[in-house]
Amino acid sequence: MRRRGAVVVATIFARAILNFAGLAVLVPVLVLILDGGSHLSPETPLGRAYTLSGFDSYASFTIAVCAAVIAVVAIKSLANILLCRIESRYIYDLYRRLSRSLFIRYHDRGLQFVKSSNSAVLARNINFVCLAAVTGILKPLSTIVCELMLVVLMFAAVALYSPAAALLVAAVFLPSAWLYLSAVRNRLEHYGVEENDAQRRKARIVAEALRGYADMEVGNAFPQTMRRFENETKMISEMRVRNTTLSMLPQAFTELGIVIGMSAMIVADIGMDSDRLRLLFGILAVAALRLMPSIRNILNSWTSIRYNRYTLDILREAGMDDEPAERRTCTERLGLRQKIEVRGVSFRFDGAAADTLHDMSLTIRRGERVGISGASGAGKTTLFNLLLGLYTPGRGEILIDGVPLTPDNRRAWQNTVGYVSQNVFILDTTLAQNIALADEPDKIDRSRLDRALDAADLREFVDSLPDGADTRIGEAGSRISGGQRQRIGIARALYRSCDVLMFDEATSSLDERSENNINDAIERLARDNDGLTIIIISHRRSTLERCRRVITLTPNDRSI
């Protein structure tokens, strides 16, 4: 990316030079129009070109000059398009890189960070803030550099022809630009921050309303939600209106500056004869056609940078100043052959006053079916997340066959563990893809899928679907029952050929019949797989009674 960045910098300079060249080639046409054949004398550059070219008439020479100018402008325009394409591709590739990197960073902060953050805000940062950073800051910055170079070249050319005219242009435009920047600088940054905060709140409101549809509908909360939604939308609209209003000011400043400059030049006559004044006026008029949009683009780009400056704070807060860690696919497995040991483990959530688990020790042997019970808040799910490697102990350690579980081998351990939660995560895709979660659709092992479906007692359900295992089952599993959802979680674990199967309140939301069916399926799994270790969190005695050993957690327990 750095090498490509250097190329992009070169294209910015090249575009500025091309734009200046496209403007400079109009001068001969302007001279021919304003002064006719008087500038074809041998002492003038145009006259020497006329003599050397061998044309026998002024008309044919004029046609040739116009044709050459048209060709140069056409070539310049095509080159500009190609250079802009190079710049745009680099900028949007950088957006992809930023978005990917931010996604990885949020993921790598771990479960505790994800649970303590608002998912709608994180999603907006990944999807929108990265795009706003490159289109609202980086792209305008390249525009400023390119247009500023063009303005400098144009000013230098005018200064060489007439220093007095160049000073007049500087006296008109520089104070105008300074006044504009001073007046709007703080307002723009404030508007950008206000809009971003409103966008975050709006995204959170929408996500919560859709996620909690049933509760909000029954509780008649939607009207109040809509009022909050409309307030945030109104705030966003107001900030956009103010930003749009301020973005119109550069055009007014530049147009007024050009009119004032030309008027001053005519009134002052700046000590020149009428022919020279007429030519200079024409040159400045042509330059103004390009100078005005250049200055407007510079000021508008600066406006965009100030408005989107908040994106840099978000990216910096996420640690985007550093290079992201290289991602690689880990297929290694840290299999369980003997036992899982929890030795003196303590864990405390960020900001909590006390440990959720304190100095806990326990051992689970391979092939055991262990139940974990306890009152709410005793740390059952926290213990599961520690065993899964989703949390890191504050003190103590977890060992797999004597090997400490660390961030370095966590992925290898997770490759051998199956996890079935109370609300099994379901993708809005096919049943097969929900079971073979990590595989691409065209790389699903169908024989392994069939074995997992049979073992999870899903065959009858699959046969009832119109497209079998390739039937879409709806967003968040909206087309399946609670029992089917849990069986999909079991099938997902079995598809991965796990050594350890962990259930976190997997039957607590099911009716008695569905619970018994799931428990029967777990018993069959234990019977058919002697080495399979099963750990179950449950409040229900009927589920715990099927376990060979039950561990009861209380806030005062330290070792088991």
Q: Name the token pair of 161.
A: 């022809």
**Rounded distance, CA 537 to CA 414, Å?**
18
Q: What is the Cα 207 distance to its own chain's centre?
A: 18
* Three-point CA angle 78, 80, 85, nearest 5°: 100
Q: CA 527, 548, 535 angle in degrees (round to 5)? A: 80
Other residues' Cβ atoms within 10 Å of the Cβ of residue 294: 21
**Measured distance between the N- and C-terminal CA atoms of the chain, rounded to whole angstroms:** 54
Instruction: At 490, list the tokens.
Output: 């079991």
User: For the domain bounded by 339-553, which CATH number is listed?
Assistant: 3.40.50.300
Q: Tokens 């960070």 label which residue?
A: 113
Q: For the chain, what are the domain ranges?
A: 2-317, 339-553
Per-residue pLDDT of the chain (560 residues; tens, 9 = 90+): 667 777 778 888 888 888 777 767 766 666 666 555 555 555 566 666 666 666 667 677 777 777 877 888 888 888 888 888 888 888 888 888 888 888 888 888 888 888 888 888 888 888 888 888 888 888 888 888 888 888 888 777 777 766 766 676 676 667 767 776 676 766 777 788 888 888 888 888 887 787 777 667 767 778 888 888 899 888 888 888 887 777 777 666 666 666 666 666 566 554 455 555 555 666 566 566 666 777 778 878 888 888 888 888 888 887 776 555 555 667 788 888 999 999 999 999 888 888 889 899 999 999 898 999 888 878 888 998 999 888 999 899 999 999 999 988 988 998 888 888 877 888 888 889 888 887 888 888 899 888 888 888 888 888 888 888 888 886 666 677 777 888 888 888 888 888 898 888 766 666 777 777 778 878 887 787 788 898 988 888 888 888 889 988 876 554 44
378/556 Cα distance (integer angstroms): 9
If we measure between CA atoms, which residue out of 224, 223, 229 comes closest to residue 201? 229
Q: What is the pTM of this model?
A: 0.72
Fold category of 2-317 in CATH: ABC transporter transmembrane region fold (1.20.1560)
